[in-house]
Structure 1
Amino acid sequence: MKLEAIDYTADNAEELFVKSLRETGFGVLKNHPIQQQLVSSIYDHWQQFFSSTNADKEQFHFDPKTQDGFFPSTISETAKGLTIKDIKEYFHYYPWGQCPAELKVELQNYYDKASELASELLTWVENQSPLEVSKLYTQPLSSMIEGNQQTLLRVLHYPPLQGDEELGAIRAGAHEDINLLTILPAANEPGLQVMSKDGNWLDVPSDFGNLIINIGDMLQEASGGYFPSTTHRVINPEGSDKSKSRISLPLFLHPKPEVVLSDKYTANEYLMERLRELGVI
Structure 2
Amino acid sequence: MTAAVPVISLSLPAEQFAHDFGASFERFGFAMITDHGIEPALIDDAWTKAKQFFALPEEQKRAYHIAGGGGARGYTPFGTEIAKGAKEVDLKEFWHVGRDLPEGHPLAAQQPNNVWPAEIAGFRDTYEKLFAEFDRVGGRLLSGIARYLGLSPDFFDETVKDGNSVMRLLHYPPVDGPAKGIRAEAHEDINTITLLLGAEEAGLEILDKDGSWLPVSPPAGAMAVNVGDMLQRLTNNRLPSTTHRVRNPDAGRASIARYSMPFFLHFRSDYVIETLDDCIDAEHPNLYPTPITADEYLQERLREIGLKR
Say yes or no: TM over 0.5.
yes
CA deviation map 1:117-152 (0-9, x unaligned): 101111111111047xx9xxxx9332211122x110
Equivalent of 1:222, from 225, 234, 239?
234
1:35-54 alignment runs, 5 A limit:
35-54=39-58
1:1-281 alignment runs, 5 A limit:
1-11=3-13, 12-65=16-69, 67-75=72-80, 77-94=81-98, 95=100, 96-101=113-118, 102=121, 103-130=123-150, 140-148=155-163, 150-163=164-177, 165-166=179-180, 169-262=181-274, 263-281=290-308
CA deviation map 1:147-184 (0-9, x unaligned): 22x11011010001122632xx1100000000000011
**Identical pairs, percent:** 34
Over the aligned positions, Cα root-mean-square deviation in angstroms equals 1.7
Partner Cα distance (2:117, 2:293) in 1: 33
Q: Which moved more, 1:196-205 or 1:175-184?
A: 196-205
TM-score (ref. length: structure 1) = 0.92
Cα contact 1:126–1:142 (8 A) shared by 2: no
Cα contact 1:63–1:69 (8 A) shared by 2: no
Structure 2 gap ranges (5+): 101-112, 275-289
Match of 2:103 in 1: none
Q: Which entry has the higher C-alpha Rg, 1 or 2?
A: 2
Partner Cα distance (2:155, 2:34) in 1: 27
Matched letter for residue 111 of structure 1: F
Cα contact 2:17–2:144 (8 A) shared by 1: no
Cα contact 2:79–2:90 (8 A) shared by 1: no
Partner Cα distance (2:25, 2:179) in 1: 34
Q: Select the structure with the greater relative contact order (CA < 8 A; seq sep ≥ 6).
A: 1
Partner Cα distance (1:187, 1:20) in 2: 21
Matched letter for residue 12 of structure 2: A
TM-score (ref. length: structure 2) = 0.84
Cα contact 1:4–1:205 (8 A) shared by 2: no
Match of 2:280 in 1: none
The count of corresponding residues between Structure 1 and Structure 2 is 271
Matched letter for residue 297 of structure 2: Y
Partner Cα distance (2:206, 2:179) in 1: 23
Partner Cα distance (1:36, 1:258) in 2: 34
Cα contact 1:68–1:91 (8 A) shared by 2: yes
Partner Cα distance (2:18, 2:150) in 1: 14
Equivalent position SS for 2:186:
strand
**Aligned-pair distance for 1:237?**
0.6
